[in-house]
Amino acid sequence: MTRKTGIIPKAPAARILMKAGADRVSADAVDAFVEVIQEIAENIGTHAVNVARHSGRKTVQEADIKLASK
């Protein structure tokens, strides 16, 4: 059995879904949610890095993240 390790932990993702109003959440739903969140986060991260580079910086700052998420 191989263990799949992700960047985003499943338990907090399940808590987000529960806080959003779900009574119960299946393991498959948590896996799908984690996958979607990770993809969105990677896209924002890539865009934020490009914004920082365009500004002549190597350091990604809070404003870069906020701009990239819009």
Give the CATH number, domain containing residue 41.
1.10.20.10
Closest CA to 51 of 66, 39, 30: 66
Give the pLDDT band of residue 6 (cuts 50, 70, 90): confident
Assigned token pair, 5: 């390790």
Assigned token pair, 51: 């914004």
Q: What confidence tens digit (pLDDT) does each residue in 28-52 have?
A: 999 999 999 999 999 999 999 999 9
Question: Does any domain span residue 4?
Answer: no
- pTM value is 0.81
Rounded Cα distance between 59 and 9, Å, is: 26
Question: Does any domain span residue 41?
Answer: yes
Split into its structural domains, the chain has a count of 1
Question: Residues 30, 14: contact at Cβ < 8 Å?
Answer: yes
Rounded Cα distance between 62 and 27, Å, is: 33
Question: Does any domain span residue 1?
Answer: no
**Percentage of the chain modeled with pLDDT above 90:** 90
